[in-house]
């Protein structure tokens, strides 16, 4: 019986401890997309509209497969944590023909012909600084900033799968043939800078906790997760 009461007392003490009473924490979280990937999907079609490919092709069916992060923080003092964050985001879109030029239709197929599919993986690693401005036994409010680097893996599949062998001096076909040669099926790797600002974050719980955040950058715009402190 004494052991039972001792264990119960330890559980009560652990449950009532503040977040700042623990030295280390690890969390897993995610959301549907990041502000950067959302903006990229939105502006990509408009960028195409301002290029020689205007009225020839369109980006449609944006796909957001999610943005996920693993975060480790070390409690430096009651109001400041320092750690690291690794993230992965996956997005994609389909490329369609939109032109009414008869020669383009003959070369590509009917209007709204699927020309290819694009998918992008973004993997980031960032140093994370978190600033707590409210802390009770069960609730913690914070903001933060993350800086680091990442890699964007751009995969193209079935892009312009119908070859344009003879442009016939048609400027529209010439432009499409140039895009065929420039963006063939394959994978490109690009190193990118990575940054994020946590505008608002909240955790519920002490040793085991849930979290919710609003971010701007290469972290999920709105995300939820779970973490563990010790």
Tens digits of per-residue pLDDT, 82-128? 999 999 999 998 888 776 667 677 666 666 778 788 899 999 999 99
Count of domains observed in the chain = 1
Q: What is the pTM of this model?
A: 0.81
pLDDT digit string, tens, across residues 160-180: 666 676 666 777 777 777 777
| Count of beta carbons in the 10 Å neighbourhood of residue 29 | 23
Query: How many Å apart are CA 36 and CA 219, to the nearest integer?
Result: 9
Q: Which domain, by its residues, includes 48?
A: 26-229
Q: Please report whether residue 155 resides in a domain.
A: yes
- Which pLDDT score is estimated for 224? 98
Q: Please report whether residue 194 resides in a domain.
A: yes
Q: Please report whether residue 17 resides in a domain.
A: no
Q: Please report whether residue 15 resides in a domain.
A: no
Name which residue leads in pLDDT, 96 or 198: 198
Sign of CA dihedral 194, 85, 40, 190: positive
Q: Where are the alpha helices (DSSP H) in the chain?
A: 2-16, 35-49, 102-108, 171-182
Tokens 């009225």, residue located: 55
Residue 11 binned pLDDT confidence (cut-offs 50, 70, 90): very low
Q: Please report whether residue 145 resides in a domain.
A: yes
Tell me which range, 19-28, 135-144, 153-162, is most confidently predicted by mean pLDDT.
135-144
Q: Please report whether residue 9 resides in a domain.
A: no
- The angle subtended at Cα 66 by Cα 93 and Cα 213, nearest 5°, is 135
Q: Please report whether residue 48 resides in a domain.
A: yes
Mean pLDDT of 193-198: 97
Chain-wide mean pLDDT for the chain?
84
Q: Please report whether residue 193 resides in a domain.
A: yes
pLDDT digit string, tens, across residues 24-49: 999 999 999 999 998 888 887 666 66
């Amino acid at each position: 019986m004494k052991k039972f009461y001792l264990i119960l007392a330890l559980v009560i003490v652990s449950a009532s401890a503040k977040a700042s009473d623990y030295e280390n924490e690890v969390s897993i979280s995610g959301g549907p997309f990041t502000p950067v990937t959302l903006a990229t999907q939105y502006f990509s079609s408009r960028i195409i509209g301002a290029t020689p490919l205007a009225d020839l092709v369109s980006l449609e069916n944006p796909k957001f497969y999610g943005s996920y992060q693993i975060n480790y923080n070390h409690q430096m003092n009651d109001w400041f944590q320092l750690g690291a964050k690794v993230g992965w985001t996956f997005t994609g879109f389909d490329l369609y023909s939109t032109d009414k030029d008869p020669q383009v239709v003959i070369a590509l197929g009917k209007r709204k012909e699927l020309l290819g599919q694009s998918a992008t993986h973004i993997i980031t690693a960032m140093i994370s600084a978190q600033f707590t401005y409210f802390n009770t036994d069960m609730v913690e409010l914070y903001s933060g900033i993350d800086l680091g680097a990442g890699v964007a893996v751009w995969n193209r599949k079935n892009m312009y799968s119908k070859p344009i062998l003879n442009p016939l001096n048609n400027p529209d076909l010439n432009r499409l043939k140039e895009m065929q040669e420039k963006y063939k099926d394959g994978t490109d790797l690009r190193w990118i800078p990575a940054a994020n600002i946590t505008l608002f974050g909240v955790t519920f719980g002490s040793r085991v906790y849930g979290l919710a955040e609003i971010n701007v950058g290469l972290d999920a715009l709105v995300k939820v997760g779970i973490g563990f402190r010790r």
